[in-house]
């Protein structure tokens, strides 16, 4: 067949396709609406999931560390270990590493004083990591007299109103409490002072570094493996409660959105199937005439499949645009935040819309193959 003849037949095919869709727009509208609704719901839910997943991870990171690097009991992390941790963080502001040193001090010289746990840390990093810590104010950096956060339970023992005298190894350190710390955890039993002040006073180096490692679980695991390889003498472990809570919440969110999307798509598929089936039954004479004047069964089936695919394409594009708007509205109305448009979903939504229309058209295509022109044209 010459290229001119093929071009003529293709042009005729598309003219008939467009004319049939326009003239039968009532039937086409039903299928178009079903696919549009399906695409809009899928786009909205997947956009919300894609955006909520990153937001949930960010929220979980605000509740503290998700990884801990600890030296063997009784030892400290060396300068090389601390350097390896800092180099792993790079320039990512979301990666936070907070070192801690711990000593058991007393409130007076000798063994008569009350023992209390004193922790040295970098207050700027600790504040960035533990946004859930409740303190009226935080100690100032480079204060001429060491300032302290006194845990709620520790304050009941040592008092938190005036200056506190602490003793360790025969050396005294006077600290000024600036606020009472309330976390509901072990931190409430400690006194926190600046890391450099504690090292100058006791000579004790950090033994624990709490990390907030951003990213998906796979990225966190990869970072942990690199740290363990760089610091083989240390123990690199996840904060299991944080990891399990994050995995559970994200898993349930994923399952809920997935099953909701599948339910909507299944319902829409039934609507499209019913519409296309009715469409074929209404146009039996048209297809019979096409076969009677020489159209092959393959051409008739291709014509009907093309109609279904066009409806699927248009419905997917329209539904994607509507879905982005719905996701934005839900995000603003329910969560008070804007949902970032997930334009990467467009190819998937378009492919799914066309596939949905073609799958729904499979049964009506079987009816088309059984059409006998003579019987239909005689009115049987």
- Write out residues in the chain with pLDDT < 70, as ranges: 1-28, 50-64, 91, 109-111, 160, 240-251, 253-254, 279-297, 299-301, 334-338, 364-380
- This prediction has a pTM of 0.58
Show me where the domains of the chain are located. Answer: 3-59+247-377, 67-238
Alpha-carbon distance of 230 to 356, in angstroms, equals 51
User: For 338-359, how does the pLDDT look when each residue is reduced to its tens digit (9 = 90+)?
Assistant: 677 778 888 988 998 888 888 7
Distance CA 179, CA 150 (A): 7
Beta strand pairing status for 190-194 and 208-212?
unpaired
> Tens of pLDDT along 304-329?
777 778 888 888 899 899 988 888 88
Residue 88 CA to residue 79 CA, distance in Å, equals: 14
**What is the C-alpha radius of gyration for the chain, rounded to an integer number of angstroms?**
34
């Amino acid at each position: 067949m010459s290229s001119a003849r093929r071009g003529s037949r293709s042009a005729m095919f598309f003219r008939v396709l467009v004319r049939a869709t326009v003239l039968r727009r009532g039937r086409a509208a039903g299928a178009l609406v079903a696919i549009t609704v399906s695409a809009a719901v899928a786009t909205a839910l997947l956009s919300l999931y894609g955006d909520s997943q990153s937001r949930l991870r960010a929220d979980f990171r605000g509740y503290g560390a998700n990884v801990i690097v600890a030296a063997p009991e009784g030892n400290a992390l060396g300068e090389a270990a601390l350097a390896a941790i800092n180099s792993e963080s790079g320039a990512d502001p979301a990666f936070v590493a907070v070192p801690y040193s711990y000593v058991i001090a007393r409130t007076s010289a000798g063994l008569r004083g009350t023992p209390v746990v004193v922790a040295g840390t970098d207050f700027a990093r600790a504040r960035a990591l533990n946004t859930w810590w409740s303190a009226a104010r935080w100690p100032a950096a480079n204060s001429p007299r060491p300032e302290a956060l006194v845990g709620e339970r520790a304050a009941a023992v040592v008092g938190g109103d005036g200056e506190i005298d602490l003793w360790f190894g025969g050396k005294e350190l006077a600290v000024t409490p600036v606020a009472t710390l309330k976390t509901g955890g072990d931190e409430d039993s400690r006194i926190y002072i600046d890391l450099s002040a504690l090292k100058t006073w006791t000579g004790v180096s950090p033994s624990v570094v709490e990390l907030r490692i951003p990213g998906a679980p796979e990225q966190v695991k990869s970072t942990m493996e690199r740290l363990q390889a760089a610091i083989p003498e240390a123990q690199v472990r996840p904060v299991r409660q944080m990891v399990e809570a994050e995995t559970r919440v994200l898993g349930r969110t994923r399952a809920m959105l997935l099953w909701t999307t599948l339910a909507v798509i299944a319902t829409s598929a039934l609507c499209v199937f019913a519409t296309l089936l009715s469409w074929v039954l209404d146009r039996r004479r048209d297809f019979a005439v096409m076969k009677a004047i020489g159209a092959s069964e393959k051409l008739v089936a291709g014509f009907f499949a093309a109609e279904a695919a066009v409806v699927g394409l248009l419905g997917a594009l329209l539904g994607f645009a509507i879905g982005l708007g719905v996701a934005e509205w839900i995000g603003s109305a329910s969560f008070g935040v804007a949902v970032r448009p997930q334009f990467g979903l467009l190819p998937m939504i378009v492919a799914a819309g066309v596939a949905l229309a073609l799958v729904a058209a499979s049964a009506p295509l079987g009816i088309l193959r059984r059409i006998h022109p003579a019987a239909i044209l005689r009115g049987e």
